[in-house]
Amino acid sequence: MNAPLPDPATLDPALRSLSAVRERLAAAGARPAHADAVLRRWLGAVTKRRDEHWLPAGVRAGLPALLQGLDGLARVRDEHPAADGSSRLLVALADGQTVESVLLPRDGVCVSSQVGCAVGCTFCMTGRGGLLRQLGSAEIAAQVVLARRRRPLRKVVFMGMGEPSHNLDAVMEAIELLGTVGGIGHKQLVFSTVGDERAFRRLPQGPVKPALALSLHSVHAERRAALLPQAPRWAPAELLGTALGYAESTGHPLQVQWTLIEGVNDGEDEWRPLLPLLRGRRAVLNLIPYNRVDGVDFRRPDAERLRALVRRLHAGGVLTKLRQSAGQDVDAGCGQLRARDLADPQRVRQTAAGRTRLPPVVAAR
């Protein structure tokens, strides 16, 4: 006889993983189709609620507790709506750690894959704190659940805190769920990376082949290494060629991400060698003006300079879009909400009083 699913208070940390959730469902008598139905309901991908009597008795008995446990994986701690239609979410995890998600204009969400990040990009607040821990695949999917409960959702981008290729198993498990049970189109799932051979080997192998975004930022190896200290030492032109090969094999255009920093990577010495690499290829160049980070002496190019760059690149035959980091008017670039929350004296007082218990911040590694 199948045992009921356990109460969420007894769920161990392994249930951060979608595969572990499926194992628990199987232990309660669920077949794969039953598990899919349960996860589909949690993800909010059910258009019409189906009678639960078709589920095995053990699954039905434990379903409320399981769904409660899954909902406990992540909750919105703070929300910052912005004038551009986006909304930045500070998401608290069950262990008290926090990550950031962004509700994007035009029905998208940007999710995090790690608490912190090990790449150490010099223009990113997230990278300044180092890597604290990996997110489980269910914790990644839980951010999509939070987004879907706030607004319609048709696109998920893995561009939040963390480097997805450094948490590859969990990210790919979440992508597979979202692209099948979750009802998100494969082209609308965007895997972002600084460039890691493991990711390029893995991406073509799964049943869901997401679109790819490559954080390039420079075509010069030394300059790119200075901007992305812990990224793989891969010649930028070769890295770009590999990414373009994947994009052309899937039919999904490559998104080339380029954070524009005045006097650093916004000059002709970048565009002249970049143009022949992208001209006529299945790619779009996303120019992202630098988002200010306290303590970093970088500046964004002025508005006229930005418009001139777009005209220059279009004239060179490269599809170029000028992107703004969502929520500019609330000064909420990736990692900044979490940093402000960690520095909040009120939060420290709450922790001391026992009302909010959070693990200590680990120093950057």
Q: What is the DSSP string of 94-114?
A: TTS-EEEEEEETTTEEE--SE
Q: Please tell me the distance from the alpha carbon of residue 237 to that of residue 350, in angstroms, as a whole number.
A: 50
Could you tell me how far CA 15 lies from the centroid of its own chain? Answer: 20
Which alpha helices (DSSP H) does 118-235 contain, by range?
A: 125-128, 137-148, 168-179, 197-202, 221-227
Question: How many C-beta neighbours within 10 Å does residue 40 have?
Answer: 18
Q: Please tell me the distance from the alpha carbon of residue 199 to that of residue 193, in angstroms, as a whole number.
A: 8
Does 79 qualify as catalytic in the annotation?
Answer: no
Q: Angle 139-209-313 (CA atoms, 0-180°, nearest 5)?
A: 100
User: 144 near 156, Cβ under 8 Å?
Assistant: yes
Q: Please tell me the distance from the alpha carbon of residue 66 to that of residue 62, in angstroms, as a whole number.
A: 6
Choosing from 117, 121, 124, 334, the catalytic residue is 334
> In the block, which residue shows the tokens 């001391």?
352
Q: Angle 279-283-286 (CA atoms, 0-180°, nearest 5)?
A: 105
Q: Which amino acid is at 66?
A: L
User: 316 near 352, Cβ under 8 Å?
Assistant: no
Here the tokens at position 171 are 């990210």
Choosing from 23, 52, 100, 197, the catalytic residue is 100
Catalytic residues: 100, 334
